[in-house]
Amino acid sequence: MSANARKNNAHILAQDNDVLIQANALNRYYGDYHAVNDFNLTLKKGEVLGLLGPNGAGKSTTMQMLTGNISPSSGDVLIAGINLIEEPELAKAAIGYLPEQPPVYKDMTVAEFLKYCAALRGIAKGQRNNLINNASDRCGLQDVSKKLIGNLSKGYQQRVGIAQAILHQPKVVIFDEPTVGLDPLQINQIRQLIRELGEDHAVILSTHILPEVQAVCDRVQIINRGETVFADSFEKLAKRHFGSNLLVSFNGSIDAQLIENLTHVESVKLLDSMADQNRYQIIFDQDSNLQNHATDIFKLAVKQGWELVELSPQTETLEQIFMDLVYSDTKPQQAEITNVSKELVNE
């Protein structure tokens, strides 16, 4: 089989090798429950995708489908051009997967375990030691390689899980919440590792920690209740939601009307006034250049002799965007509930 596999791999290498993961219209039902609805994804080499969503959104189910742990009810998955459902063994050789719970045997030492994984992935004997050393280095496991996995802390077990996923240098790496249980220093190391991996692999990671996505991902796909509610590059997400607002603060009172009279200004809102300081939010119309507006405000302040103490763009955090997207989706349902309760009250 391995000779055959090599031939096939060569054949695929000859083709366009850029698209490493292609998922078409994936659906998954658990009984009547529609866990994942029409999931589409194209991921190229060198891209890191963040898969976001609240609990029970279908992230893990999606990842299990992409790694061949469960079959989709409909739709198909191509890993580096190989159909995961028709040729699972061949396709799986190109995947490294870290599930939510690191799949490690607690009664083995780290070195034994990685050796076993290398053998399972069909790595030639001569290369095994090299690859194991490489993965241990990258995950900082050299010092504990002779320890039983069961005796390691959660963070180290997680690192063993990551090491097993990248051991065979798969083209596609899929991490389900990789930084859970790690301390801040380790989190940084793992993020660094993911960024490194992102250079010559295709990486998917799911997480609850939004800054993590901001830190390592090029693209974001947000899933809510099985449906994709947002899928685009990170920059577009940022552009869509960041910075059409400015925050300004002045010492002493000012005439807000003067600001409102400026071009492109839609509205001026007094946010808070503490002691002598007044803080305003200035909202501009959509297609405007924030930098120019800041200059305008500054000039106006100089002209009027206002004591400007803050002038900054208002950036929405990813968290807010996320809440927005997920929340706006749940709104109709909540509205229904309120209607129902109103009806109940009326009765």
Which residues bind to another protein, rule: CB under 8 A?
67-71, 88-90, 92-93, 95, 97, 99-101, 103-108, 116-117, 119-122, 164
Min. distance of Cβ 106 from another protein in angstroms? 8
- Of 114 and 190, the one with the shorter C-beta distance to another protein is 114
Tell me the closest approach of the beta carbon of residue 115 to another protein, in angstroms: 9
- 10 Å CB burial of residue 340 (0-12, 13-18, 19+) is exposed
Q: 74: closest CA among 65, 56, 82? A: 65
Measured from the CB atom, is 100 or 329 closer to another protein? 100
Owner of token pair 């590059």: 233
Distance in angstroms (rounded) separating the CA atoms of residues 333 and 331 = 5
CA 117 to chain centre: 27
Residue 107 vs 200, nearer CB to another protein: 107
Question: Rounded to the nearest whole angstrom, what is the least distance from the CB of residue 93 to another protein in the complex?
Answer: 4
Cβ nearer to another protein, comparing 152 with 326: 152
Q: Which residues pair with 204 in a beta bridge?
A: 49, 174
Give all strands of the β-sheet with 19-30 in edge-to-edge order.
82-83, 74-79, 19-30, 33-44, 227-233, 219-224, 48-52, 202-206, 172-176, 95-98
- Nearest 10 degrees: Cα torsion 228, 78, 90, 192: -50
**Minimal distance, residue 81 CB to another protein, in Å:** 16
**Closer CB to another protein, 69 or 317, in the complex:** 69
Taking the complex as a whole, the smallest distance from the CB of residue 117 to another protein amounts, in Å, to: 7
